[in-house]
Chain A
Amino acid sequence: MIRVGVVGLGKMGLSHLSMIRAHPDVSVEAVVDSAGYILGVLSKYTGLKTFTDFEKMLDSVELDAVLIATPTRFHAAMVRTALDRGLHVFCEKPLTLTAAESAELAGVAAVRGLVTQVGYHNRFVGTFREAKRLLETGAIGRVTHLQAESYGPVVLKAKGTTWRSKRTEGGGCLYDYAAHPLDLATWFVGNATGVGGTILGSVFSESTEDEVYSTIYFADGVSGQLSVNWSDESYRKMTTRVSIFGTQGKIIADRQEIQVYLRSTAPELEGYEPGWTIRSTTELTDEVWFYLRGEEYSAQLDHFVQRIGDPSLPATNDFASAAITDRIIELLTADAAAGPATTTLVGETTASTSPKARRGSLLGRRS
């Protein structure tokens, strides 16, 4: 039995708690949250041992691992404390608010030989795993471009009252939403060498962004485009799609299906034909021991548990990999803060070409 403590019982923490408590190889020894009413309900109805203080919990119960799902600004200190006590750590995404800290924590964990994982659940989605497998076999030749998109209906009015609406606490569309397609992009084509043209736009939010658009330059000349908007109510729930263009074909993947187009010159591949092949999540998804909200959420926790049992298993989403995503998030923030870098043709003046100026004059004529 792997003894786990769960820290932070918000939306993610509660669902993690439910899934991991149902895991046959795990015993949840204690839970921690600052909200007394949740602890009261859990202790009364589920018999869980509850704490309002993280360190007190660590002092009071014997653990092998912790699962941290607090607001992002608490991650760094809690993760460090847990690692210092020799505990394996599963932490919600993003890992921390600075790339340097994430990289450092990855180093600490490596030195101590501890298992780490960050909750980028998309890497456990059957269709995205298939995309990764196809890329590794060179199915679409040399990759030239990648487009990573996420849209969903999170912020649909101006006022939010939780940490998720405050950028300084790790809220906002970049940390909360864009981190997912970004992380998939780095998984598919590697680390970024730079970013440009980043826009962190507001649709409704006052103190954070609701849109993230950017050009990302990856290693080996692969270009990428990121397009994310969490104020898009035309989507029922968060929808992430990655399109990957290669010299021999292309791959379009979302949670439900993977659409692959192969040129007739592409290398032969079992199960795929020249032209379109479409495979669905129903055939690409492995069964899980317990299903709450998508197999990937269960599968990622199982991966963590399996790796604690056998740390030699290859890691998906360890701290080192999450630190790469955190670094790109930092690059995007810096690039957006630097303001627009635009190219105009010699002789053009900004005033006559700016859409804003034109719109102004049109309005002027009407009135």
Chain B
Amino acid sequence: MSTTAPRTADSGGPLTTPGSSKLDPVLFGDNQFFGINHRSEEKAREQAMRFQDLDAIMAVIDDAYASGIRTLMCTTHDRIADVVERVRAEPERYDGFSFFPCMPYAHKYADAVTESGILGALNRFMPDEGMLNAMMRGGRSLAKKDIEGIITLLVDAEMAGFAGVRTPVVWLQNVVVDLLLGLGFTDAFAIFANHVRTRYGAEPGFITMNLPMLLDHLDQAGIENPLVCSNINKIGFRMSGGVEAYQDALAKRPFRAVAMSVFASGAIPPREALEWISAQPGIESIVFGASSRSHIESTVALVREFEN
């Protein structure tokens, strides 16, 4: 474990909104730590090599902390559990630090489905293997409480790694949100939201690539003023429904927007990207990932500049 003291913020202090229920204006993402890069396989592999060392991940998180960032919006990848452990072990060093878990880590499930089928995969990730089997016996169809049971048990399994750290928001990943959205399985959103609120006292969030369509379905599910994270960027990259529909939603619809992919995976220069974002109404927060201190600092500096 690294023993150096954390660097202090270079300017401006923590990027938080104290005394408010609003999210911090900047959330730190974790794609870069797990070899996810939407523009280059080579870059993704370089990052996977660099960040297989936990100290390398922690060094970047420390840089983010020093720049004033207090939230890591992260997948439920196995390796995040190690990050959580470091943060939990040094509460003073990471004072005010929060995790926003995004679940599930979908590739884990997708590969398990390929290998064992849908039921087999569910079985593997359910805490009590016998339960699902009991439900399925005799081929009886699943009752509503069974579905609720499965969803909540899966959430609990994903949340287990975050015990003892702050998780004020729990997100449902876009691959699941959008799968349910396309299927029309709107009730699942309410089940998730309800469980996250009651069991974890956290705000449920929904990540989507189809913002305008999702807002309609969250309305139907009775989820008021929902927290929704989606790509929002000047060039319309992965904004299904089109930039104008997104801008219309931001201006008129009651929801709390978190913008991701604001740089469109590097296709838009940072200043131009953030200037455009700051001109959009209703964006509560942005999430971005970076691997170097200079990138983190320059991004934070731009956000502070446009905030004023």
Contact = CB atoms under 8 A, between A and B. Distances in A.
Interface of A: 10-11, 14-15, 17-19, 21-22, 35-42, 44-48, 153-156, 160-162, 164-165, 234, 236-237, 239, 241, 254-257, 280-283, 287-293, 295
Interface string B262-292: 0011010000000000000000000000000
B265 A280 contact: yes
B297 to A, nearest CB: 25
B53 to A, nearest CB: 16
Given A41-B147, A290-B240, A280 B267 contact: yes
A162 B183 contact: no
Contact of A236 (B35, B118, B237, B265): B35
Nearest to B49: A234
A21 B111 contact: no
A100 to B, nearest CB: 28
Contact of B34 (A14, A38, A236): A236
B48 interface: yes
A291 B183 contact: no
B42 to A, nearest CB: 9
B111 A153 contact: yes
Interface of B: 34-41, 44, 48, 107, 110-111, 113-120, 136, 139, 141-142, 144, 147, 175, 178-188, 209-210, 213, 235-242, 264-265, 267
B240 A11 contact: no
Given A156-B111, A280-B40, 12 more contacts: A17-B183, A35-B118, A41-B185, A155-B115, A161-B115, A236-B34, A255-B41, A256-B44, A281-B38, A282-B237, A290-B213, A291-B240
A2 B152 CA distance: 37
Contacts of A17: 182-183
A290 B237 CA distance: 13
Contacts of A282: 38-39, 235, 237, 264-265, 267
A189 to B, nearest CB: 22
Residue from the set B48, B111, B235 with the largest chain A CB neighbour count within 10 Å? B111
A113 to B, nearest CB: 30
Contacts of B237: 282
Contacts, number: 139
Contacts of B107: 236-237
Nearest to B120: A161
A281 B178 CA distance: 21
A89 to B, nearest CB: 21
A40 B265 CA distance: 40
16 contacts: A14-B179, A19-B182, A22-B213, A38-B118, A44-B142, A44-B144, A47-B184, A155-B115, A160-B115, A162-B117, A164-B115, A256-B38, A280-B265, A280-B267, A289-B240, A292-B175
B273 to A, nearest CB: 12
A41 B142 contact: yes
Contacts of B139: 36-37
B242 A292 contact: no
A41 B141 contact: yes
Residue from the set B113, B147, B213, B238 with the largest chain A CB neighbour count within 10 Å? B238
A261 to B, nearest CB: 15
Nearest to A9: B118
Contact of B113 (A10, A19, A156, A256): A10
A21 B183 contact: yes
A18 B179 contact: yes
Contacts of A287: 236, 239-240, 242
B172 to A, nearest CB: 14
Nearest to B150: A41
A336 to B, nearest CB: 23
A11 B110 contact: yes
